[in-house]
Amino acid sequence: MGQVIDPSVADENDPLSVVPELDMYDPANGWRPWPEPSRYDRGWLATCRAAQEARIARVDAIAKEALASAKEASGAVRRAERGSDAWRRARRRQVHTPYMTIYRTLADPAYLDPSIDPDDRPMGSLFAFPDPFDANYGRGGLGRVMTPRGWLSTWSSLSSKARLADTIPHVKVATLVVHPTADTEIRIRQARAIRDSAGSGDVAYHEMKGAPHYLEGHRREAMQLVADWIAKRFPG
């Protein structure tokens, strides 16, 4: 989420609120109407990335406040007389699970500027056809409706422990990493970082030239690669 969340959201309760200076869909920042490629200044891009992290922190704070409220209510339940009005009020707060709506989560400048982390990908995103602008403001996107715990554990680039480059050092068995070089979501540098941080003494890495995220048109090749890798390690 850290590379795709829209940093220009000014108000989490207003999906159309915009901070123009942070908006990748603003012509002043390098955007051009689809299908013309956009061109983002690298100084602006660094500011955008920092602002994405700042927005992640803002959403994290909302999620953590909700969890803290539930925890405080659990304490109130223990202190109150069972069955009393205070107990019932605290119980409602204790078990309530608010749902967070995280607006505008398709705003990676690399979607529209192929010169950012260049590879074989086409313009656009896996989650929007063809222009990510439509899904960023529409009903698409990633992690759009989440529980606080789900956001923090899975999507937050600051709080989640799910980043593979951070967890794969603990994987000690033989490891095969396959990266499709036309993936619109995962960059080659990220795949190589996973390879480089793998904890196994037996790490194989393969870049599938021109293959998209779900390997359409390259699935037989991918399965053969996996089968050969397995056969070499587990003959017979």
Predicted confidence (pLDDT) at residue 162 exceeds the cutoff of 80: yes
The 10s digit of each residue's pLDDT in 139-154 is: 878 999 999 999 999 9
The 10s digit of each residue's pLDDT in 90-126 is: 999 999 989 999 999 999 999 999 999 999 999 999 9
C-alpha span between 163 and 180 (Å, rounded): 18
Q: What is the pLDDT confidence band of residue 89, given thresholds at 50, 70 and 90?
A: very high
> How confident is the model at residue 215, as a pLDDT?
97
Within 10 A of 219 (CB to CB), how many other CB atoms are there? 11
Of 57, 55, 60, 95, give the one whose Cα is nearest residue 74: 95
Within 10 A of 79 (CB to CB), how many other CB atoms are there? 10
The 10s digit of each residue's pLDDT in 11-36 is: 999 999 999 999 999 999 999 999 99
> How confident is the model at residue 129, as a pLDDT?
79
Predicted confidence (pLDDT) at residue 205 exceeds the cutoff of 90: yes
Within 10 A of 14 (CB to CB), how many other CB atoms are there? 10
- Cβ 55 vs Cβ 9: under 8 Å: yes
Angle CA 107–113–118, to nearest 5: 115
> How confident is the model at residue 77, as a pLDDT?
93
Largest CA distance in the chain: 69
Predicted confidence (pLDDT) at residue 212 exceeds the cutoff of 80: yes
Which residues make beta-bridge pairs with 14? 11
> How confident is the model at residue 141, as a pLDDT?
83
C-alpha span between 184 and 199 (Å, rounded): 27
Within 10 A of 57 (CB to CB), how many other CB atoms are there? 13
Residue 14 DSSP label: B
> How confident is the model at residue 236, as a pLDDT?
76
User: Cα-flanking dihedrals φ and ψ of residue 11, to 5°?
Assistant: -140, 120
Q: What is the pLDDT confidence band of residue 127, given thresholds at 50, 70 and 90?
A: confident
Percent of the chain with pLDDT over 90: 94
Predicted confidence (pLDDT) at residue 56 exceeds the cutoff of 90: yes
Average model confidence (pLDDT) for the chain? 96
- Cβ 115 vs Cβ 42: under 8 Å: no
Q: Where are the domains of the chain?
A: 20-155, 164-233
Of 205, 214, 154, give the one whose Cα is nearest residue 185: 214
Average pLDDT over residues 51-60: 98
> How confident is the model at residue 70, as a pLDDT?
93
Average pLDDT over residues 175-197: 97
> How confident is the model at residue 11, as a pLDDT?
97
> How confident is the model at residue 75, as a pLDDT?
95
- Cβ 138 vs Cβ 25: under 8 Å: no
C-alpha span between 195 and 231 (Å, rounded): 21
Average pLDDT over residues 47-56: 98
Average pLDDT over residues 80-98: 93
Structure tokens at 50: 């920092």
> How confident is the model at residue 131, as a pLDDT?
93
